[in-house]
Amino acid sequence: MTAPVRVAVLISGRGSNMQSLASHQGEDYVIALVASDKPDAAGLAWAREQGLPVFAADAKALGKAAFEAALDDALREAGVERIALAGYMRLVSDGFVARWRDRIVNIHPSLLPKYKGLDTHARAIAAGDRTAGCTVHLVTEELDGGAILGQAEVPVEPGDTPDTLAARVLEAEHRLYPAVLKEFVRR
């Protein structure tokens, strides 16, 4: 049997998808690093409590190039083979994408190619969509534009607000992301 693939999870905030990915680690993949562009990201406390290796630096203060260089060092020191963006709110540079070509995935809270970018749930409601959902895709130079690896749909209910819809989509994200990551690390 081959060793589990070493995955880094990149977060900027609460990290609920990171928690779901971590709770599904096992023979397919292990979380080798949790990294954040914000030292005060709420999810870091949970990661540290779990004993997961953590890298956190202030990308805003350091500047993008210095931050990504430090991040790259941390990823290589941790022996990372794949990167999962999970609520990572910073655009990765073209150079970073090139260095990790075909090895970075992201979860996006819409049924891509619909609603790239921000405010996906408000846009789905405003459009009168009957279904919403989430997508795991490869990260390329084009924002939310890489190949789609998996999607999950949820209904948009009458009276939904962006928050109620986000909560329903988030539950789907927590199921979809580990399942797709398990497939992805075998490629």
CB of 39 to ligand GRF, least distance (A): 16
CB of 32 to ligand GRF, least distance (A): 18
Q: Is 173 in the site for ligand GRF (CB under 6 A)?
A: yes
| Binding positions for ligand GRF, 5-24, rule CB under 6 A | 11, 13-17
Write the CA distances from 159 to 31, 130, 182, integer angstroms.
Answer: 38, 12, 35
Residue whose CB is less far from ligand GRF, 71 or 107: 107
CB of 178 to ligand GRF, least distance (A): 12
Q: Does residue 50 contact residue 23 with C-beta atoms inside 8 Å?
A: no
- Pairing between β-strand 131-138 and β-strand 148-155 as defined by DSSP bridges: antiparallel
Q: Is 180 in the site for ligand GRF (CB under 6 A)?
A: no
Count of residues touching ligand GRF (by CB under 6 A): 14
Residue whose CB is less far from ligand GRF, 36 or 57: 36
> Which residue spans within 37-147 are E strands per DSSP?
54-56, 82-85, 104-108, 131-138
Active site residue 108: yes
Q: Give the H or E element holding residue 178.
A: helix 162-184
d(CA 133, CA 155): 8
d(CA 70, CA 42): 21
Query: Any idea which residues carry the catalytic annotation?
Result: 108
Task: Name the site residues for ligand GRF (rule: CB under 6 A).
Answer: 11, 13-17, 86-87, 107-109, 134, 170, 173
